[in-house]
Amino acid sequence: MKKLIISLILGLVLVLGVSGAAMADDPDPTDDTVVNINWTGPVNLSASIIQGDDATISYAVVGSNSLGSLTMTDTNYCPYAGYHVDDGSSYFVTSVTDGFALYQVDRNDSYSPMYGPAGQCIYSYIAASGGTAEMAGGVTTNYAQQRWCTYDQPKTSSGKNFEANAASFLIQHFVGKVAGYWDNFSEFIATGSGVALIDSMSSETSGCWDLQRGDGCGCYTNSDMSFNGAGTLTWNSVGSNSITMPSDGGVPVPGDGTFGSCSWNTIINYVGSWSIPNTDMRVN
């Protein structure tokens, strides 16, 4: 196993750039390439890791105080000869005070004869002013799909995927083609003041199957949200054939098979305590 550990204990603002660090193809399935980044303190950190030609992981965190870790693995291995797409993963957990953090994984390769084109993206963002925001999650990519599967993975201090306790916060989670919104996608955006606690345990996207946000990975659904304060919660989705929320038992919004023929936009303003037990969505 090739392993690089970067540990940061920051008493001053520090810029870390891991730009274009290549995790090259290797036919030996035991020859994983692993990058660990750990940090604590005031931080200005950015990292971009290229897993061969299969995926690109982008991460950044800036704040007056932060605690976090990011682990990225390229297995240098594909289970099927001729597919030429390695399995890769990255998992993270971070808290940031008076600042922001973002995590994005772009899937760059696919075995397209069976599983359609690559180009999928999972993106998460948190920001806080006058307090702290946290997020925890991770993505795996392979020849067939991209998945956000966080069961039994590290969580935030309250055991969630996203949380905030701040005078002002923003939390966004996007699953789709690209973060530029030119293909099927689904996202939520939460803004406000006070406390936010959000589970979004599983998501899936690929070039041929339905997109699932808040559901999938062969696991039970855990996609609840609760808030205490004042704010706005927005769900946006665009599909071609249908959009369903919740994915099991919801009434689908139909499309005609052309891109953008069905869409979903819901905006909820709340004051005080408010919660919703299931926010998962399926886009076809």
* pLDDT tens column, 79-112: 888 999 999 999 999 999 999 999 999 999 999 9
With helix as H, strand as E and coil as C, how does the chain read? CEEEEEEEECCCCCEEEEEEEECCCCCCCCCCEEEEEEEEEEEEEEEEEEECCCEEEEEEEEEEEEEEEEEEEECCCCCCCCCCCCCEEEEEEEEEEEEEEEEEEEECCCCHHHHCCCCCEEEEEEEEEEEEEEEEEEEEECCCEEEEECCCCCCCCCCCCEEEEEEEEEEEEEEECCCCCCCCEEEEEEEEEEEEEECCCEEEEECCCCEEECCECCECCCCCEEEEEEEEEEEEEEECCEEECCCCCCCCEECCCCCCCEEEEEEEEEEEEEEECCCCEEEC
pLDDT reported for residue 177: 76
Residue 270 has pLDDT above 50, yes or no: yes
pLDDT reported for residue 279: 87
Residue 125 has pLDDT above 50, yes or no: yes
Tell me: cis bond preceding 154? Omega within 30 of 0 counts: no
pLDDT reported for residue 165: 98
pLDDT reported for residue 30: 58
pLDDT reported for residue 27: 52
Residue 26 has pLDDT above 80, yes or no: no
pLDDT reported for residue 215: 80
Would you place residue 21 in the very low, low, confident or very high pLDDT band (cuts 50, 70, 90)? very low
**Which is higher by pLDDT, 202 or 96?**
96
Residue 196 has pLDDT above 90, yes or no: yes
Percent of the chain with pLDDT strictly greater than 90:
61
**What's the rounded Cα separation, in Å, for the pair 232 and 244?**
21
CB 32 within 8 A of CB 23: no
Which residues, in sequence order, are bridge partners of residue 228? Answer: 195, 273
pLDDT reported for residue 245: 85
pLDDT reported for residue 49: 86
pLDDT reported for residue 178: 58
Q: pTM to 2 decimals?
A: 0.89
Establish how many alpha carbons lie within 13 A of residue 86's alpha carbon, considering only the half-sphere containing its beta carbon.
25
**What's the rounded Cα separation, in Å, for the pair 108 and 54?**
5
pLDDT reported for residue 8: 44
Among 46-50, 118-122, 129-133, 227-231, which stretch is predicted with the lowest mean pLDDT?
A: 46-50
Residue 137 has pLDDT above 90, yes or no: yes
CB 140 within 8 A of CB 125: no
Which residues, in sequence order, are bridge partners of residue 51? Answer: 55
Q: What is the mean pLDDT of the chain?
A: 86
Would you place residue 20 in the very low, low, confident or very high pLDDT band (cuts 50, 70, 90)? very low
Map out the domains of the chain as residue ranges.
2-283
Residue 229: partners with Cβ closer than 8 Å, 6 or more residues away: 192, 193, 194, 195, 196, 272
Percent of the chain with pLDDT strictly greater than 70:
88
